[in-house]
Structure 1
Amino acid sequence: MYVAVKGGERAIDNAHAFLAEERRGDPGVAELSVPQIREQLRLAVNRVMAEGSLYDPDLAALAIKQARGDLIEAVFLIRAYRTTLPRFAGSVPVDTAAMAVLRRVSATFKDLPGGQVLGPTFDYTHRLLDFKLAAEGAVEAAPTAPADPARVPHVMAMLDRDGLIEAEPVSDAVPPDLTREPLALPACRALRLQALTRGDEGFVLSLAYSTQRGYGRTHAFVGELRIGTVAVEVEVPELGFAVEIGEIELTECETVNQFKGSKTEPAQFTRGYGLVLGQSERKAIAMSLVDRSLRWRELGEDFVGAPAQDEEFVLAHCDNIQATGFLEHIKLPHYVDFQAELELVRQLRAEAFARQEAAE
């Protein structure tokens, strides 16, 4: 038994060394630096920050390098590191209406106060391989953004002003923190949104797509999609007011969905909402569609059996770290379990053969 344990330790050490060698790749090729990953693979960094629930581009870039580009493994590393950090305070709610907008579009109104801002987007590219990138040539500088961008009002405020969309419920209750407390069902909307914002992008995207194909009630328009930086403020008891401690980049999406009404209430559109760390508009849009689908009960709608309407199905399976852990644990040693089942199958087969022989 001692020899087996020592042999296992040696094999694991060798696997670690092999992993480090594979991570480095060809020594003749320059090694990727963390700043390179942070600056040139921004969308991957943003996804790791969002699903890892930790806004730190440098740590996210380091995790991507350590994980050899496996973003789910990188998210795992970030979440594990996050558990070691002390919590000094909670910030006040960020004001996305005061966002320094990098990108802001609406599919519902052409002419907006503040204008449509296309920003950095793949929407208008041709989706053809650009071999100039392989040549590593210089990049033409983009137009300079204004140093002090104006405050841009939310599109939803225009509909809200005329009573055309449901009022956003306001509550002074402190929402539960999914990063510190286990998920409890049924979940309030604040908890559902937390689960979705750190859920796997591919899973949330697939659920959102399913709602658009009829498996849910989210015939939606993108009221507004905005990406930009917002100030993070913390209230200091000794001062009696909030102090800005930094800025973070966010992606926010608000969707306008099919309307509701009754004999006593005039028709109004309904809302879907998504908010994600970093630039991640696909995730924010998908999140807003799934959020709207999960609201069927509070809006008095029928449950049609769609996966995106099933709160337990969505929230229990959207977390890629939990999914990965449960999936990948089956590749670890299960010798004792398998031997027990193997012995049971052999016994059942022997009994079946004995009965067959007796019948003959």
Structure 2
Amino acid sequence: MYVAVKGGARAIANAHAWLDEARRGDRDVPELGTDQIREQLSLAVDRVMAEGSLYDPELAALALKQARGDTIEAVFLIRAFRTTLPRFGGSLPVATADMQIKRRISATYKDAPGGQVLGPTFDYTHRLLDFGLAEGRDVPPAPMAETGLESAPHILSHLGGEGLMQAEPDGAGAVPDLTRDPLEFPAERALRLQALARGDEGFLLSLAYSTQRGYGRNHAFVGELRIGAVRVSAHLPELGFDIEFAEIVLTECESVNQFQGSKTAPAQFTRGYGLVFGQSERKAISMALVDRALRAQELGEDMSGAPAQDAEFVLSHCDNIQSSGFLEHIKLPHYVDFQAELELVRKLRRAAGADALPEAAE
């Protein structure tokens, strides 16, 4: 923290007090509770959990309240808190095929095996402001709010059964932990997916859109998008068996891309993959498209120099906390640096015989 002038500490304390007052807002308006944020701004809560790498809706709601709705600031708060938590071990891979599905759609199969469930979605709304919400109108329960699927096999598994989908490796081996170890290049797919899962949604959305517009030649179909609850388990060696200890909501997307084949592989479809905390389907789809674009070199495809195909560019800039930290630091005092540059410019002007600077610039 910079305290560059006399009285700086007092000014900072006053700024914090002003921030608290601004956060509270008009005191004639009831204070917003974290339970209201968690239940009524759930998509914002889910985004904070995803990009903060911590699944805790209550803490994410608190972070949003403290951050005055600034999603990136809330993510920063969650990540900072996450570093204080003890680590007892790792969970087993979750079985998304056993997901308790609330939403499941496919753009590739009309009659998807197991059925499609539209679920709670904005896809078919008219995008007209509902002024009744401003008046506090009651919202009746949805007649089919509890309808879903107990579980369903992945749709792309049917393509795999025909040999039309590129097979994925059975085991990933040891997966690096991006929250504990710095990002290194070249980055294997497991590490790339981890970085994308906590990457900034807006950044990944822009990159995914760029692939659709030809910067990477990545025309994809959504093979399946599913949202629902999965059980989380861990193996306890001292007990000799697995135990279930949590249930979390995930969004999973598998995109389908045509692959013309190579000298070692026949023509088939390939997969892009996205898996995100909560209901975050735009993020999951974006992640799947960018994941597939980053596989271009692995698949022997044309490397056109598109940003989405450059792993170092994507992974080094998708983290909004690193990006905002580097960007926002330039608003902090840099008096010495600037004065040195100012003196250098004056010296160069004098050496070149330039007119003296205007008095106002002095």
TM-score, normalised via structure 2 length: 0.95
Secondary structure at the aligned position of 2:352 is classed as: helix
Deviation readout 1:288-318 (Å, 9 max, x if unpaired): 0000000011101121010000111100000
CA distance in 2, matches of 1:314, 1:263: 29
Letter in 1 for 2:128: L
Q: Distance in 1 between matches of 2:169 and 2:308?
A: 22
Unaligned runs of 5+ in 2: 357-362
CA-atom RMSD in angstroms: 1.8
1:9 is matched with which residue?
9
Q: Secondary structure at the match of 2:207?
A: helix
Q: Please name the residue that 2:200 is paired with.
A: 200
Map 1:1-360 to 2 at 5 A. 7-144=7-144, 149-262=149-262, 265-353=265-353
User: Do 2:219 and 2:257's aligned partners in 1 also have CA atoms closer than 8 Å?
Assistant: yes
In the alignment, the residues of structure 2 paired with residue 146 and residue 29 of structure 1 have an alpha-carbon distance, to the nearest angstrom, of 34
Give the aligned residue type for 1:213. Answer: R
Deviation at 1:261, TM superposition (A): 1.8
For the residue of structure 2 that corresponds to 1:133, the secondary structure is helix
Quote how far apart the aligned CAs of 1:103 are.
Answer: 0.2
Q: For the residues of structure 1 that align with 2:271 and 2:65, how far apart are their CA atoms?
A: 39
Alpha-carbon spacing, 1:350–1:227, altered in 2? closer, same or farther (3 Å): same
Kept in 1, the 8 Å contact 2:262–2:300? The answer is no
Q: Which amino acid aligns with 1:296?
A: A
Q: Distance in 2 between matches of 1:248 and 1:315?
A: 26
The answer on whether the counterparts of 2:117 and 2:148 sit within 8 Å (CA) in structure 1 is no
2-structure distance, mates of 1:64, 1:354: 53
Give the superposition deviation at 1:89.
1.3
Q: CA 1:167 to 1:77, structure 2 compared with 1: closer, same or farther past 3 Å? A: same
Report the CA distance between 1:145 and its aligned residue. 5.3
Match for 2:69: what amino acid? G
Identity in percent: 73
Distance in 1 between the 2:355 and 2:32 partners? 66
Is contact 1:260–1:268 with CA below 8 Å preserved after alignment? yes
Rounded Cα–Cα distance in structure 2 between residues aligned with 1:44 and 1:129: 19
CA shift in 2, pair 1:281/1:151, >3 Å? same
Tell me what 2:360 maps to.
Answer: none
Question: 2: distance between equivalents of 1:232 and 1:263?
Answer: 41
Alpha-carbon contact 1:229-1:248 (below 8 Å) kept: yes
Q: Judging changes above 3 Å, is the alpha-carbon distance between structure 1 residues 48 and 148 closer, same or farther for their aligned structure 2 residues?
A: closer
Distance 1:264 1:145, change over 3 A: same
SS at match of 1:160: helix
- Between 140-149 and 197-206, report the one with greater CA deviation: 140-149
**2: CA distance between counterparts of 1:63 and 1:158?**
42
Cα deviation per residue 1:253-277 (whole Å; 9 max; x = unaligned)?
Answer: 0001022224664310111000000
In 1, Cα distance between equivalents of 2:299 and 2:138: 53
Whichever residue aligns with residue 157 of structure 1, its letter is: S
Is the partner of 1:103 in helix, strand or coil? strand
Distance in 2 (alpha carbons) for counterparts of 1:328 and 1:10: 22
TM-score (norm 1): 0.95
Compute the displacement of 1:52 (Å). Answer: 0.3
Compared with structure 1, are the counterparts of its residues 172 and 43 closer, same or farther at alpha carbon in structure 2 (3 Å cutoff)? closer
- 1:140 Cα deviation (Å)? 1.2
Does structure 2 conserve the Cα–Cα contact (< 8 Å) formed by 1:260 and 1:270?
Answer: no
CA distance in 1, matches of 2:280, 2:172: 29
CA contact (8 A) 2:101 2:148 kept: no
Aligned-partner residue type, residue 239 of structure 2: L
Superposed displacement of residue 142, structure 1: 1.3
Q: For structure 1, which runs of at least 5 residues remain unmatched after alignment?
A: none
2:359 aligned partner? none
Q: Which shifted more, 178-187 or 231-240?
A: 231-240
Q: 1:355 to 1:75 in 2, by over 3 A?
A: closer
